[in-house]
Amino acid sequence: MLEEFLRRLASDPESATLHGITKQAFLIPMTHPLIKGMMLGDTDMLGELAHREYADSASVTQRRVEMGRAYLELLRSKGLVRTDMSIREQFHMLLAISIGFLVADRFMPDEYKLSPQESADLLAETARRTFEPGEPVPFEKVQEMQAIFMQLLNQLVNAVKERVQKEAQL
C-alpha cells in the first residue's frame, strides 16, 4: 500500500500541491476497504489510539503530523498555500474535510454516491479552493515542490520501516 502511494505521488506532478497530496492520500482508503474500515470503524477506539500515538514523540503518527506541518509551512513559504489563517487551523480544516469525504457515502442515497476517483477529484478541488491562492501555480514551482515532498515522504517511510523493525524485534 505504501509503495502504491509513493508510485501515485511520483507519477502525478501535482502531488506536490496540497490538493494533489490530499487527493492521493484519499484514494488509499477509498480503494482499500480494510484500511477504510479501520479508519472509520470504531472512531472512539481509533481516536484513543491516535491520542496515545501523538503523545509518543518517536511514533509514526507524531512524525506524520510533524511532516505534514513542515510541508504546510514550506507550501506557505513558497506562496502555494494561503497564509491568512494559522497552520493549526488549516490542519484542522483539512482533516475535517478529508474525513467528511470518507464518510459521506454513508449518508447519501445511491444516486448521489460517487466513485472513489470522483470523490478524490472533488476533495482535491475543495482543498484547492479552500487553501490555495487564486492564481495558478507555475509548473516549475510544482516540480520543485514535488522533489522536496518526495524527500520528506521518503524520510517518513524510512522512519516507519525503522519503527516496524524495532517493534518486530521486541
Please say whether the beta carbons of 114 and 144 come within 8 A: no
CA 102, 87, 56, 146 torsion-angle sign: positive
* pLDDT score at 101: 92
- Cell output for 51: 491520542
pLDDT score of 122 more than 80: yes
pLDDT grade, residue 56 (50/70/90)? Answer: low
How far apart are alpha carbons 40 and 29 in whole angstroms? 10
pLDDT score of 148 more than 70: yes
> Stretch 75-79: mean pLDDT, rounded?
90
Angle formed by the axes of helices 2-11 and 139-169, to 10°? 170
